[in-house]
Amino acid sequence: MAEHNHDVDSHEHVDLLVIGWGKGGKTLAGTMARAGKRVAVVEQSDAVIGGSCINIACIPTKILVHDAENKRDDDDTDEYFAKAVKRRDTLTGAMRKTNFSMLDDLDSVLLVSGRAEFTGDREVLVTGGDDTMQITADTVVVNTGSLANIPPIDGAKLGGRIYDSEALQHVTPFPKRLVVVGGGYIGLEFASMFTHFGSEVTVLDRGERPLANEDADVAEVVAQSLADDGVTIINEASVTAVADGTDQATVTYEVGGEEKQIDAEAVLLAVGRASTNEGLGLGKAGIETDKRGFITVDDHLRTSAEGVFAVGDVNGGPMFTYISLDDNRILADQLLGEGKRTTADRSAVPYTVFLTPPVARVGLSEDAAREQGYDVKVGAKAMADIAAAPRAKIEGDPRGIVKFVVDGATDHILGAALVHVHSQEVINTVALAMRHNVTATELRDTIYTHPSATEALNEVLGVVK
């Protein structure tokens, strides 16, 4: 590391202390160090240097999604999955090394391995093995991320054949049958991934239908794609027990008052994310949390404690790495700039669920727009029916839908749902248009390259009514 000062009871004072090596914190640390500030970064696990995105979340899962989609029928499942996991580990290892160097190479950055606990105002005690270090700082940023939520279900504890989304990425042996508890975005992404690798996948979802936040027509297209690929989704399923046995795990659930059981070689618990604040000693620093345990912040990301901020998942906001990156911009503006940026500035923030094909959305759904009283106009087409955009057909997967929600009074785009090959790229163009009040008509009549997924906008925005 840049410096080792792990003597028992050693003391350090810095301009900025970052607890947790997440996207927002590591970026801010580099910016502040390059601005001549003394910075300390504390991380308790070498396995997540660089943050969860590159180590256990965005990057490794998308490697596995990509490789799963490219598996051929005659590939040996166990061998192919093992190769994909090896590629995952190699790439994330290289990224972790690069992320370490990005801070380690800066002379004014102190990297500390250990667990931090607040002992007072802007004061933490870091414990690493037998060594302790007390660090005080002018500014503290908590960037400790989130954990997989373990539901209060009988027998639902990690280990054996029961996994969270991190552990399942290294499942061995490869499960012939996988049960996913939870039909949210993470659960469906892993369901899609594992069915393409060769598992028989069943999703147990509490809701009436998957993707409850999407319009019914969009959700139906997605559900059909998952079904076509071999995923079974059981709706309105309430899981009551999970049991790990000698040869298989058994999940007990109720549907319509009837108790049922399903066996599998692996069970994934995918029922949301929980805070990582246990043991941080937030109370000793006067840092308040909400009822879910996430740190409460204002629109400048300030906690209830003077000089202490919280960025990324730990503040309970949208759990995307690019939101954590934007959190960093807000803090950099406060610490080095004019302090004008806030979370309230954010508009048209897109997201993608990497199913096959991916689901990308920005802004309001049709249902939400109608509830808010807009003069709603809609343009929607199945991707297979968009004659002027053959990209998806060229790539052999024309499934999906393109749907736009437009304000009839202003011709501004209120939202879009894109389910098709490359939708994760196209959604950024739509979001940019929304942020700058580009009208639906302008977006419709723009020149796009051919053959591209983006040019579907020409045709779909031409049927808005």
- Residue 8 CA to residue 367 CA, distance in Å, equals 59
Give the number of C-alpha atoms closer than 13 A to the C-alpha of residue 137, restricted to the C-beta side.
Answer: 29
83 is in an annotated binding site: no
186 is in an annotated binding site: yes
429 is in an annotated binding site: no
- Residue 407 CA to residue 313 CA, distance in Å, equals 32
185 is in an annotated binding site: yes
CA–CA–CA angle 57, 59, 62 (5° rounding): 95
312 is in an annotated binding site: no
146 is in an annotated binding site: yes
CA–CA–CA angle 120, 126, 127 (5° rounding): 130
Give the neighbor-by-neighbor strand order of the sheet with 249-255: 237-244, 249-255, 258-264
C-alpha distances in Å from residue 278, one per residue of 208, 295, 319, 459: 34, 11, 19, 52
| Active site (annotated) includes residue 4 | no
How many whole angstroms from its chain centre is CA 226? Answer: 20
279 is in an annotated binding site: no
Can you count the helices (H) and strands (E) in the chain?
12, 22
307 is in an annotated binding site: no
80 is in an annotated binding site: no
374 is in an annotated binding site: no
182 is in an annotated binding site: yes
Whether 154 contacts 32, CB under 8 Å: no
- Residue 408 CA to residue 414 CA, distance in Å, equals 10
187 is in an annotated binding site: yes
Helix axes 23-34, 321-336, angle to 10 degrees: 30
- Residue 33 CA to residue 30 CA, distance in Å, equals 5
- Residue 456 CA to residue 381 CA, distance in Å, equals 9
Going by C-beta distance under 8 Å and a sequence separation of 6 or more, which residues neighbour residue 53? 22, 23, 59, 321, 324
Bridging pattern class, strands 162-163 and 266-269 = parallel
145 is in an annotated binding site: yes
Catalytic residue among 4, 11, 170, 450: 450
Q: Is 9 exposed, middle or buried (0-12, 13-18, 19+ CB in 10 A)?
A: exposed
DSSP output for 38-85: -EEEEES-GGGTT-HHHHTSHHHHHHHHHHHHT--TTS-HHHHHHHHH
Residues 308-320 as b or e (16 or more Cβ within 10 Å = b): bbbbbbbbbbebb
Q: How many CB atoms lie within 10 A of CB 143?
A: 30
144 is in an annotated binding site: yes
Cα-flanking dihedrals φ and ψ of residue 455, to 5°? Answer: -70, -5
Residues annotated within the binding site for FAD are 62, 144-146, 313
Residues annotated within the binding site for NAD(+) are 182-189, 272
Residues annotated within the binding site are 62, 144-146, 182-189, 272, 313
Q: Catalytic residues, which ones? A: 450
